[in-house]
Each structure stands twice: as structure tokens, then as C-alpha cells.
Structure 1
Amino acid sequence: MFRRTFWFTAGAAAGVWATTKVNRKLKQLTPESLAAQAANKAIETGHRLKDFALDVRAGMVQREAELGEALGLDAPAGHELPGVRRAAALGPTPPTTTTTYSYDETPASPHNRNEDH
């Protein structure tokens, strides 16, 4: 008699356990639950991307400071940049002219085929 009671109780416990497990899985697979899980994953991914971007930015600033120090680019505040230099052999640059035409005017061209002969 004790054996039958033991196996009956073990079977009932296994049934309750399996039913609970299946119900939990079904609740996880509902559209609302899937949407909530996707939203949580998206938020988590956004935080990770933000942290990554901040790490990259900090690394860029640090590396820029290292390069500036190595190249001597950290100029004092009173120091100004030199003016624009031109090569002496080239001489002064010719003035630039811009020609604007009205709607009715056309530039004179030796290859204009529409002129009267």
C-alpha cells in the first residue's frame, strides 16, 4: 500500500511540475511578453552602444592629447599661427575676374556658328 501511495504522489508532483513549466513557457511566448523582451533587449543594446561611444570618444581625446604633446602642437595662448606664405619665384597672383552675363547676352566666341555672315 505504501508503494502505491508513493508512486501516486510522485506522479501528481511530476504532473504539477510539468504543468507549471509549460504554463510559464506559454506566458513567455505571448505577443505582449515577446514585445516586452524585445524592448528590454533594445534598451540594453542602446546603453551598450552609448557606453561604447563614450569609451571611443574618451580614447580619441586621450590619443589626440598624446599626439599633440608628441608633435609639440600644444602652443601657448599668445602664440599665433604664421601668415600664408607664397613662393617668391611665382610672383604675385593675377587678379581674378568674374564675368556675369545677363539672360540675353552671350560671350563673344570665334566659334559661334549663329552669327551673321
Structure 2
Amino acid sequence: MFRRTFWFTTGVAAGVWATTKVNRKLKQLTPESLARTAGNKAIEAGHRLKDRAVDFALDVRDNMAQREEELGEVLGINSDPELPAPRRFAVIENRSNPKSVDSDRTTYSYNRNEDH
């Protein structure tokens, strides 16, 4: 009798376990669940791709700076060159132009949005 009870209980437990497994799998295969899973995986892939792109950009920047230093040493370029003096332009006032600003003349508006 004990043997039959043991196998009956084992069968019931296996049936409950199998039923819950199948129900979970069916819930995972619904369209909503598949869409949610695909969306989550796409977001994760995007984050991984962004992290790799940032790492690549930092590596490129570091290697570029290193190569510039090497080229500067080889070519004998000073890393802190003296800058030339700023250029100065002479401003010539055009008195024949009616739009030039004078205290005794009338001035015109430069607003293009005004009605003319």
C-alpha cells in the first residue's frame, strides 16, 4: 500500500510540475510577451553599442593625441608656439552713403522686416 501511495504522490507532483512549466512557457510565447522581450533586448543591444562607441571614440582621441605628440617631436614643432599679433583693420567712413551715421543727417533703419 505504501508503494502505491508513493507512486501516486510522485505522479501528482510530476503532473503539477509539468503543468506549471507548460503554462509558463505558453505565457512567454504570447505576442505581448514576445514584443516585450524583443523590446528589452533591443534596448540592451543599444546600450551595449553606445558603450562600445564611446570606448572607441575615447581610444581614437587618446591615440590621436599620442600621434600628434610623436609627429611634433619628429618635426620639431614647438607644442606652445607664439601666436602672431591680432590684425587691425582701418575703418573708413563713407560720407557719400546716406545710410552712414552722422549727427546732422537722418538715419535709416536697417531692419529688413519693416514695411517699406
Q: What band does the TM-score fall into relative to the shorter chain? A: 0.5 to 0.7
Write the deviation string for residues 72-105 of structure 1: whole angstroms up to 9, x where unpaired. Answer: 167315346xxxxxxxxxxxxxxxxxxxxxxxxx
CA distance in 1, matches of 2:78, 2:58: 19
Q: Give the alignment of 1:37-48 within 5 angstroms.
A: 37-48=37-48
Does 2:23 correspond to 1:23?
yes
- Write the letter of the residue equivalent to 2:31: P
TM-score (norm 1): 0.64
Unaligned stretches of 5+ residues in structure 1 = 81-117
C-alpha separation between the residues in 1 aligned to 2:57 and 2:81? 25
Q: Once superposed, which parts of structure 1, at least 4 consecutive aligned residues long, lie more than 4 Å away?
A: none
Partner of 1:113: none
Task: Give the CA RMSD over aligned residues.
Answer: 1.5
Matching residue within 53, 78, 84 for 2:82 = 78
The answer to which structure, 1 or 2, has the higher relative contact order (CA under 8 A, 6+ apart) is: 2
- Give the aligned partner of residue 57 of structure 2: 57
TM-score (norm 2): 0.65
Distance in 1, Cα, partners of 2:27 & 2:43: 22
